[in-house]
Chain A
Amino acid sequence: MDSKKRTFIQAAAAFLQNAHITGFFTGKIYDGAGKNICVPGLNCYSCPGALSACPIGSLQNAVTAWKFKFPCYVLGLMIFFGAAFGRLICGFLCPFGFLQDLLFKVPVPKKLRSFRGDAQLRYLKYTVLFIMVLILPFAHKFTPVYCKYLCPSGTLSGILLSAADSRLRSLFGWIFTWKAVVLTAVVLTSMAVFRPFCKYLCPLGAFYALFNRVSAVRLKVDGEKCVRCGVCARVCDMAVNPVISPNHPECIRCGQCVRCCPHEAIGFTFASKPIRVKALAENQKKPK
């Protein structure tokens, strides 16, 4: 997929999920019917522009409720998103992922492609998912632990909310200061490391990662066309080798490898049927 097309889709998705423009001026969040459902990406409900709820926030709320009831609805939504798209959501639809993509474009003296411990650190997000999203909120009622103490997407929304509603600023305490530090760290790191939050911390990415190998939309490598030149692995920003594992849990389906393969050996499929992507043949790019 043409990278400009993808950027457009990401921008459109970020906008559509936060199209409640008046909220940014009035400081009042949207309370219409859209909030009955969750968006597929990490988009906090407290964002003045948000039209729907966050899946991770909604999941925590269900788990931390006074009388625990199995969260059929939220889990059903998340499984639907995962089974349909896997981490394609991360690559195309998540506004916070998009933000990191944009930040990575900022020129800095050194871009860190990899470092020792990178592979192990990728498992940290599963810990975030199980401990901060599921176990702790279940054990300590009325406390969405991940939302309250970590989520940088929520911090960003809180900043936007307080920009529109000055009353909030007097309420900032140590927790918000800590979360602002986390957000700043993610923002700065994103300029040197590709999508650090998605790789190491995002509980939603961790959840969708579990579906990558079985999602309806997948990647497939044509064994006959592939000559094992290694271009795809070199251009992958998530350090995945598409030939060895085309639907690796760390693949965010950005389509970079599809675009760069000199032999068109990698392609997207829907239920194993190849999806024709226009302009693919004309967009062969030389690897960096």
Chain B
Amino acid sequence: MEKRRNFLTAALLAAAAILMAAGVAMEQNEQVFAKATRVCLECIGIG
């Protein structure tokens, strides 16, 4: 039972790593960067 759960944990972590790698390959981290370094005032409820 625990073994199955740990396997699921490992699978999720592996999936996460693959998704992150795919995201970086698609330059999605640049999108995160672009939006996190310019404050769109209306997007945070100001103005």
Contacts and interface: CB of A to CB of B under 8 A. Distances in A.
Direct contact of A and B (CB under 8 A): yes
Interface of A: 29-31, 35-38, 44-46, 52-54, 57-58, 61-62, 65, 69, 71-77, 79-80, 82-84, 143-144, 147-149, 154-155, 157-158, 161-162, 168, 171-173, 175-176, 178-179, 211, 213-216, 271-272
Interface string B11-47: 0110111111111101011111101110101111111
Size class of B's contact patch? 35 or more
A35 B45 contact: no
Contacts of B30: 36
Contacts, number: 138
A176 B45 contact: yes
A76 B12 CA distance: 9
Given A149-B45, A171-B41, 16 more contacts: A37-B29, A44-B44, A45-B37, A46-B44, A61-B31, A61-B32, A62-B28, A74-B23, A76-B22, A84-B13, A143-B43, A157-B44, A158-B44, A172-B46, A178-B45, A213-B5
At the interface, is chain A mostly helix, strand, loop or mixed? helix
Interface of B: 2, 5-6, 8-9, 12-13, 15-24, 26, 28-33, 35-37, 39, 41-47
